[in-house]
Amino acid sequence: MKIAIVTGAYKGLGFEWCNQLAHLGYKVVLTARDLEKANAAAHELNEQELVVYPKELNVANETEIEQLVSWCSEYFGKVDLIVNNAGINPKDFPDKEKMAKAFRLEAFDPAVMDEVIHINSYAPLLMVKHFRHLLVKSQQPIVINISSWLGSVSQLGFGGHYGYVGSKNLLNVLNKSMALELKPEGIITVNVNPGWVQTDMGGSKGQFTVQQAVKQLIDNVLTKVTINDSGKFLNYDGTEHPW
Ligand SMILES: NC(=O)c1ccc[n+]([C@@H]2O[C@H](COP(=O)([O-])OP(=O)(O)OC[C@H]3O[C@@H](n4cnc5c(N)ncnc54)[C@H](OP(=O)(O)O)[C@@H]3O)[C@@H](O)[C@H]2O)c1
């Protein structure tokens, strides 16, 4: 049976990844930085007889990543899929002064930018750094990083928004580099643009529901990618997204 780990998964796109992967027969590790929220979300899926394990994971905390690796190593001995979904958008910071520090030039603050970059750009690499030895035990190890069209330089049509735009763009290039390093080990690692999705982050006007967005990514990316796609930035329809 295939094992999947999803980060930031008690709600939004992450929760729906857990739901659809579990329906496909994966054993899913549903992680969230608040264990109670992970427990409640996993319980909802367990009630449908789906195999979902709740685990605490703040992706910015390398010790917690290592603890999860130990648990997965003991219970499963391999990992087939990591969905690096956890992400933040400074526009959602309740503290609007802090929000401005990663949003508008006059308030630009490297310390707040670092916080966003750590979660959105570094954490996906930290996950792979620590799970690498379990990924290579899979017949077809896949890593899917949830990026955004806002990380595309050529498509960017508005200003400001530095934290989100910068961190997703950095994630795109870091993933390409990581993919080239990991290619000899057979690990497929791609970045995806899910489109504009109706979640807390995306708001209610998004073009897709979470169900549609995840189904498209499963049908057009997860089930189609090969090692030749590793490092690509893919759109929800499976085509390559402009960088
Ligand atoms: N919705 C869209 O239109 C859209 C478009 C493009 C890309 N994306 C990307 O899709 C991903 C999922 O977002 P969403 O739309 O589903 O938004 P969401 O409902 O706000 O979910 C974001 C999730 O990330 C978690 N998270 C944030 N920081 C974390 C950390 N340090 N450790 C662990 N979990 C953390 C959040 O948990 P807490 O509540 O504990 O913070 C939450 O569960 C993000 O990477 C986002 O950038 C979304």
pLDDT, one tens digit for every residue, the chain (243 residues) = 999 999 999 999 999 999 999 999 999 999 999 999 999 999 999 999 999 999 999 999 999 999 999 999 999 999 999 999 999 999 999 999 999 999 999 999 999 999 999 999 999 999 999 999 999 999 999 999 999 999 999 999 999 999 999 999 999 999 999 999 999 999 999 999 999 999 999 999 999 999 999 999 999 999 999 999 999 999 999 999 999
Task: Say yes or no: CB of residue 196 within 6 Å of ligand 1.
Answer: yes
Residue 242 lies in a domain: no
Contacts of 117 (CB under 8 A, 6+ apart): 163, 166, 167, 170
Nearest CA to ligand 1 atom 19: 12
Task: Say yes or no: CB of residue 72 within 6 Å of ligand 1.
Answer: no
Residue 107 lies in a domain: no
Q: How far is the CA of 54 from the centre of ligand 1 (A)?
A: 17
Residue 105 lies in a domain: no
Whole-model pTM?
A: 0.98
Q: How far is the CA of 120 from the centre of ligand 1 (A)?
A: 9
Give the domain range for residue 146: 3-89+119-235
CATH number at residue 159: 3.40.50.720
Residue 151 near residue 168 (C-beta atoms within 8 A)? yes
| Bridging pattern class, strands 3-6 and 233-235 | unpaired
Residue 146 lies in a domain: yes
Residue 169 lies in a domain: yes
Q: How far is the CA of 17 from the centre of ligand 1 (A)?
A: 12
Residue 109 lies in a domain: no
* Dist CA 15 CA 125 (whole Å): 21
Nearest CA to ligand 1 atom 5: 196
Residue 229 near residue 190 (C-beta atoms within 8 A)? yes
* Dist CA 54 CA 31 (whole Å): 6
Residue 64 lies in a domain: yes
Residue 207 lies in a domain: yes
Q: What does the pLDDT look like over 222-240, one tens digit per residue?
A: 999 999 999 999 999 999 9
Q: Total domain count for the chain? A: 1
